[in-house]
Amino acid sequence: MSERVQQFKEEREKLNAIVLAREDLNVKRFFGIDTAVYREGALDARTKELLGLVGSLVLRCDDCVAYHTIRVKELGVGDQEFDEVMSIGLVMGGSITIPHLRRAYRLWEEMKA
């Protein structure tokens, strides 16, 4: 696991713990829904994470792009599948997504090394 991936995971876990410690029921419910929608169902978790990656790219959320990039790699997505997903996000989001696409590819390559 690359240092960037490890740092990202640790920071995300730390920040989530801070948020969830606040005891806000609405926030906890939202986090619960977010976790639940990516579980196996009619669509497998891998497909759901790929969809999450496209949505994150289109919405230009770097944290979300990084999270879903890490998850799809962990779930066994290969280079060609990753390329196709990035192409879909680029077509849907337009050229404004290119900086986010670049960072996703940098992370992807780091995870392969």
**C-alpha–C-alpha distance, residues 58 and 76, integer Å:** 22
Asked if the model's pLDDT at residue 56 lies above 90, the reply is yes
Give the contacts of 43 (CB within 8 A, at least 6 positions apart). Answer: 51
Q: What residue spans define the domains of the chain?
A: 3-112
- How confident is residue 22, by pLDDT bands cut at 50, 70 and 90? very high
**What would the DSSP string read from start to end of 43-107?**
S-HHHHHHHHHHHHHHHT-HHHHHHHHHHHHHTT--HHHHHHHHHHHHHHH-GGGHHHHHHHHHH
Q: Which CATH superfamily is domain 3-112 in?
A: AhpD-like (1.20.1290.10)
Q: CB–CB of 62/103 below 8 Å?
A: yes
The mean pLDDT of the chain is 97
- How confident is residue 97, by pLDDT bands cut at 50, 70 and 90? very high
